[in-house]
Structure 1
Amino acid sequence: MTKRIRKIVLFTIVTTLLTVTGCGDKKNTDTATSNKPAIAYIVANTANSKPVDSSAPIIQDTMIDCAENYGYSFIVRVDGEPELVSSENLDIDPQYKNAAKERLKRDATNKVTNLLQVLEGVHAVNPESDYLEAIRLAAASLRSLDNSYTSRNIICCGSGLGTTGYLNFQNNLLSAESQTIVKLLQEKEALPDLSGITVYWIGMAQTTAPQEKLNPKQSKNLENIWKSVIEAAGGEFVPNDYISVSQNDDTTDELPSVSIVNIPSDDPIVFEPEILEQPEQEEENAFEEPVILGESQIQFVGGKATYLDEESATETIRPIAEYLLNHTSVNLLLVGSTAGDITDESTLRLSQDRADTVKHTLVEFGVDDKRINTLGMGASDPWHINGAGYDETVGSAASSNRKVVLIDANTELAQQLMSSN
């Protein structure tokens, strides 16, 4: 028996049960069935993601609660092909529920010890990681139970940085707005059914080498993405601040490979007119970080570099021109991009022409054309979301790839883009 398992035996005697499962203390065996929790544990012991620490209070306490209240426990493995590895009905025959309280507690402790041993033994089998599919499998397992179960919760343990399936962060999803990702999943009918299910997530954004670490802003954005996805699926999202990931990385070299997710150097980009309306202050640069003009701000005729609504586009660009006229030290790079995942001569030309169209509008407002550089990148811009398709609907995931991005030409990123294209 490991030290961790021995700890749980003692822990069950002194612990105060968490309320996250919706269950109170069991005063006697007659009230046990009034709280009957069902819990699914999602375990991502994969390369590039730190393994779960089963001594985490939320894991131990929910397991104890589930065992003492005759609930149901599932354990799902995260890898490239998630699988249900454990399904345990923790109920007992009614005739045994009148046994001595000490005997019932001892039996519950034994069940928890066995469950923890199973959880600690979960390791990835297949390459990559698919958190969304693991959540779908856990939710389906919980929904398969009858109505006698009073709560249904998922405890998800892992970084959340999926590398395959519908929510593949190799597709530059960390550069996208969370609602754009939700729309992408809705378009593909890929959201799981999480109605009536609460998802508690521990270890979010906790990675290990060779995966590059996320900075605090990127970690928060990853959390916001999962929160939006889970809530759009009908569930409730609850992050757990306790860092319940193991510090032992010894086993990662023995696990199937997981692709590295390239971490973007910039935050998701949005067009916020109020930034451009600030009083003139040379020390504040509204374009030090990229700003996007997407289809919700300016829309072009399909396959052309002509505004669909020239008056609306002009009014959208007006505050940008006014900002540049008031901040003469700022020079811009305009990067045009297209939907789909193909970059060829036609998409490069179209994206270049659209960037030039925005430049022409700025020049018409009086901005010196020498202050504006343009670049067409087709579908190869740093903020492109792969796999979004060609949907023409404004606001769709594909729509987010039809854009012109504005950035200060003197930034390191702008200089890199201009020197390499």
Structure 2
Amino acid sequence: MSGRLLAATASLGLVVGLAGCGGEDPAADPTGAAAFVVGARGNMPAPRPAGLAVEVLDRAVENQSLAAIVVADGEPSVLGTRPLLVQGATSQAREATKNDNRQAVLDGIAGARADDEEADLLGGLDLAARTIRSVETLPHEIAVIDSGLSTVAPLDFTQPGLLEADPEELAGSLARVGELPDLEGMEVVFQGLGDTAPPQEALSIAQRANLVAIWRAVVEAAGGVMALEERPLAEDTAVDLPEVSIVPVPNGPACAGPTIELAGADVAFQPDSAEFVDPAAARAVLQPIAEQLVQAGATATLTGTTARVRELGGQRALSEQRARAVLSELVDLGVPASALRAVGLGSEFPGYVPDHDAAGNLLPGPAAQNRKVIITLENGDTWVLCE
């Protein structure tokens, strides 16, 4: 018997039996199932349920549901299951059983530990859904207590551009290759999305927001309904856990010499739009750029680029609109409009990354890499920000 299974047996205390008979206030019939998907691995804080995740547990206890714990490491597995049956001839005895059931699940989550390298949350969701779907009665609920930073294909955030990918495009690409779990009719609560622990770098506000949007798009494309618990994970993770690859986190705009490249992690736009996802965040990124332009009296060209989606004329129009949106924000920050000009090249630009596979399907990661606004100083000037 593996260490993981031994831990499951001890912490969940697998129960077989029926609710007690007789006495006042008899317990209702058991109904539904709930699964708790936990990271319990390196690069993220320890999984400790709170808020909406605890509410999933409380409902499961009241419903006498089947409870399951799934560890979402590189090879997800069911840590253990427990029917949360209420036993006892009196209301006090039944209430004590409920408390015991609740604590057993909490202890099981606290004792969970990754066995395998890497992180496969998509696979963990699939395993959780299949486990609770074996119970015919409703409700079916899943609580995911995880950073969301999967490192296993087909959802591998170590791949360039994937953390900035368009959520709908990414969910659509998973659906196209049949990699979405079946979450039809299920409610899925996420806690801890974007919460990291060393050596994994922290995500920016914009990066975390896009990660949340990606998982929401995945859940909805899979037929489920997602809720987000904002309370962060904060407890130290266990030591000596299997290795998990670090997800690259861009730290500000890429710049070299006279050019600065603003990607989705810097100034994210709404899909097929020149509207900023977070105008305040975009302004914060553009503020130091505007300051140098003003102080140096410099002139610059803003070049918009995009993925190879729709015909070239549409690409160029959208990329120019995005360049003009950045230009407008710089003007609002004090840069003379006469010092700036905007152009749009669409997908025809130096450095274009092929963003379709051999079958012609869009690749969300490379597509995200191609969506940017490049600010180039003229007259041989260079960016102080790059020094």
Tell me, in whole angstroms, the C-alpha distance in 1 between the residues paired with 2:317 and 2:57. 58
Alignment partner of 1:44 is 2:46: no
The structure with the largest alpha-carbon Rg is 1
Q: Secondary structure at the match of 1:228?
A: helix
The one-letter code of the counterpart of 2:34 is I
Q: Residue 390 of structure 1: which of 358, 364, 378 is its match?
A: 358
Shift of 1:165: 2.6
Aligned to 1:157: 145
Shift of 1:129: 0.5
Alignment partner of 1:88 is 2:101: no
The one-letter code of the counterpart of 1:408 is I
The one-letter code of the counterpart of 2:25 is N
Counterparts of 1:138-153 in structure 2 under 5 Å?
Answer: 138-146=128-136, 149-153=137-141
Shift of the 179–133 alpha-carbon distance from structure 1 to 2, 3 Å rule, reads same
Shift of the 329–141 alpha-carbon distance from structure 1 to 2, 3 Å rule, reads same
Tell me, in whole angstroms, the C-alpha distance in 2 between the residues paired with 1:219 and 1:398. 16
Q: Secondary structure at the match of 1:376?
A: coil
The one-letter code of the counterpart of 2:231 is Y
Q: Residue 264 of structure 2: which of 239, 263, 267 is its match?
A: 267
Counterparts of 1:344-383 in structure 2 under 5 Å?
Answer: 354-355=348-349, 375-379=350-354
Aligned to 2:339: 329
Q: Secondary structure at the match of 2:190?
A: strand
Q: Percent identity?
A: 24
Shift of the 273–163 alpha-carbon distance from structure 1 to 2, 3 Å rule, reads closer
> 8 Å contact 1:42–1:75 — kept in the other structure?
yes
Shift of 1:38: 1.3
Counterparts of 1:3-402 in structure 2 under 5 Å?
Answer: 28-29=25-26, 32-33=28-29, 36-54=31-49, 56-91=50-85, 99-146=89-136, 149-171=137-159, 172-243=161-232, 245-249=233-237, 251-252=238-239, 254-264=240-250, 265=252, 266-267=263-264, 269-270=268-269, 272-273=273-274, 291-296=304-309, 298-299=311-312, 327-330=337-340, 354-355=348-349, 375-379=350-354, 389-392=357-360, 397=364, 400=367
Q: TM-score, normalised by structure 2?
A: 0.69
Give per-residue Cα distances to partners, 1:225-247, cap 9 Å, x unaligned.
1001100100001001222x242
Number of residue pairs aligned between Structure 1 and Structure 2: 315
Q: What value does the CA root-mean-square deviation take over the aligned residues? A: 3.8
Shift of the 408–391 alpha-carbon distance from structure 1 to 2, 3 Å rule, reads farther
- Higher RCO structure (Cα 8 Å, ≥6 apart): 2
Tell me, in whole angstroms, the C-alpha distance in 2 between the residues paired with 1:289 and 1:247. 44
Shift of the 191–115 alpha-carbon distance from structure 1 to 2, 3 Å rule, reads same
Shift of the 401–262 alpha-carbon distance from structure 1 to 2, 3 Å rule, reads closer
Tell me, in whole angstroms, the C-alpha distance in 2 between the residues paired with 1:38 and 1:131. 19
Gaps of 5+ in 2: 1-23, 253-262, 277-288, 294-299, 328-335
Give per-residue Cα distances to partners, 1:294-331, cap 9 Å, x unaligned.
333543xxxxxxxxxx6x6676678689999x955236
Shift of 1:205: 0.7
Give per-residue Cα distances to partners, 1:143-166, cap 9 Å, x unaligned.
1112xx221110100110111131
Shift of the 318–43 alpha-carbon distance from structure 1 to 2, 3 Å rule, reads closer
Tell me, in whole angstroms, the C-alpha distance in 1 between the residues paired with 2:52 and 2:207. 25
> 8 Å contact 2:353–2:369 — kept in the other structure?
no
Shift of 1:66: 2.3
> 8 Å contact 1:332–1:406 — kept in the other structure?
no
Shift of the 398–238 alpha-carbon distance from structure 1 to 2, 3 Å rule, reads closer
Q: TM-score, normalised by structure 1?
A: 0.64
